[in-house]
Amino acid sequence: MSKDKTFETKFRRRQQGKTDYKRRLALVRSKKVRIVVRKTNTQIIAHAVKFNPVGDETLAAVTSKDLKEYGFYGTNNTPSAYLVGLLLGKKIEGKVEEAVGDIGRRNPSHGGVVFACLKGVVDSGIKVPLSKEAVPSEDRLNGSVLDNYAKENVDKFSQYVKAGITPGEINKAFSKAKEQIEKVKA
């Protein structure tokens, strides 16, 4: 009988499909702050994370639920993702000049919400390497496309109506929220 190990188990988070350690190591070695963007079924979550050998240090965190304070009903759509990124960028303004995007185990799809969030961070003044092809169109970012869809499918936008945003006025609510977020100081 052999006394050597024939099988080596993977780390628990790798087994669960939550962490790609090879990609994470590359991001950590860059020694830049990571803008961690995650999309769930109900919200967008963004963190500014700094590596520390003892454990990662979160500099700021924003979710799309925080957008209610600025008059926008936040979910997991493109305008919400952009505003989350913009708010995160405003919160870390002055503390961070350069960062790198961390989208986790998501496959990067051009025009996706994770890139909309990173575009918001870039627009707040933080330098993040980001391809122009990856960012959604301006119509998707500001909610114009969502407005057109909402006018045709009013029943699917009941949560916006409860929040005081009528279908067809999502773009206006987006603009007002963006103005308020741009006034935020770190």
pLDDT tens for the chain, residues 1 to 186: 567 677 777 777 767 777 677 777 777 778 899 999 999 999 999 999 998 888 889 999 999 999 999 988 878 899 999 999 999 999 999 899 999 998 877 777 888 899 999 999 999 999 999 999 999 999 999 988 988 888 888 888 888 888 888 888 888 999 999 999 998 886
In the numeric block, the tokens 């918001």 are attached to: 120
Q: Please report how the helices 78-91 and 144-152 are oriented relative to each other, as an axis angle in degrees rounded to 10.
A: 140
Nearest CA to 71 among 167, 154, 170? 170
Read off the pTM: 0.87
Whether 104 contacts 38, CB under 8 Å? yes
Structural domains of the chain, ranges and CATH numbers in brackets: 16-182 (3.30.420.100)
- Report CA dihedral (71, 158, 146, 44) to the nearest 10 degrees: 60
What are the residues whose beta carbons fall under 8 Å from the beta carbon of 15, sequence distance 6 or more?
Answer: 9
Q: Are 118 and 155 in contact (CB under 8 A)?
A: no
CA distance 171 to 176: 9
